[in-house]
Amino acid sequence: MGNCIIFCAAGFDGLAEEIQPGDFVIAADGGLIHTKKLGITPNAILGDFDSLGFVPEGANVFPVEKDDTDAMLAARRGLQLGYKDFRFYGSLDGPRLDHTVANFQTLQFLADRGRKGYLIGKDCIVTVVKDGSLAFPAGCKGTVSVFCLGPDAKGVTLRGLYYPLEEGTLTAGFPLGVSNHFTGEAAQITVTDGSLLVMWDRKNGFPER
């Protein structure tokens, strides 16, 4: 099974990797504009369409007054179909900070269910790792920031980074993990108990799988 590729309505600056035949593409509301620019026909179109301004043919329409954001609706669809890896474009570089924070929580929603999710912006990629690790190959450059998401994150180990850490604890009340740096060595970020919000320069691509 491929990845679930979700296009949201915020700014979009091109694909981080090519869409593969096994991928399932969802246009969430205004994300349909991005798929049209790419010449991609999405497998599903859904949302309340307050951003797009009209209802496309064949779309699954939801009321504006709902609990889920359009990105969350798309995540739920991908979960129903059994996808384990989610890529969100148009999910970071928008005018609504509240929607960006909501997308961080969507990553946690996926991590709570044993899935991987990535927000892909113009300059950075963001993910949540829960009770697990991220590994980056040698050669990565630039910044990487690590934040506690929720209760204390325990057993945090950072290796191959400029500021290392062994079995530390990060809290939601102090940004100790901000503005770390890749050193060019292979790097690993681990948390044994809790969740970390991790963001790094997009030019480094995705963690090793």
Domain 4-122 has CATH 3.40.50.920: no
SS3 content of the chain, % helix, strand, coil (to 5): 20, 35, 45
Tell me the per-residue pLDDT of 152-162, one tens digit each, with 9 for 90 and over. Answer: 999 999 999 99
What is the predicted pLDDT for the residue at 53? 84
| Whether the predicted pLDDT of 108 surpasses 90 | yes
Which tokens hold the place of 119?
A: 């927000």
The reply to whether 128-204 shares the fold of 4-122 is no
Q: How many residues does the chain have?
A: 209
Short-list 131, 86, 132, CA closest to 107: 86
The model carries a pTM of 0.95
Supply 30's token pair. 């205004």
- For the chain, percent of residues with pLDDT exceeding 70: 100
Q: Give residue 51's pLDDT.
A: 85
CA atoms 192, 198, 203, 209: torsion sign: positive
pLDDT tens digits along 30-64: 999 999 999 999 999 999 888 888 888 889 899 88
> What pLDDT score does 63 carry?
83
pLDDT of res. 65: 86
Tens digits of residue pLDDT in 112-133: 999 999 999 999 999 999 999 9
pLDDT, tens digit (0-9, with 9 covering 90-100), for 129-145: 999 999 999 999 999 99
| Domain-wise residue ranges, the chain | 4-122, 128-204
Segment 5-35, tens digit of pLDDT: 999 999 999 999 999 999 999 999 999 999 9
Mean pLDDT of the chain: 95
8 A C-beta contact, residue 77 and residue 44: yes
Q: What pLDDT was estimated at residue 209?
A: 79
Average pLDDT over residues 65-88: 96
Among residues 207, 206, 203, the alpha carbon closest in space to that of 142 is found at: 203
Q: Does domain 128-204 have CATH number 2.60.120.320?
A: yes
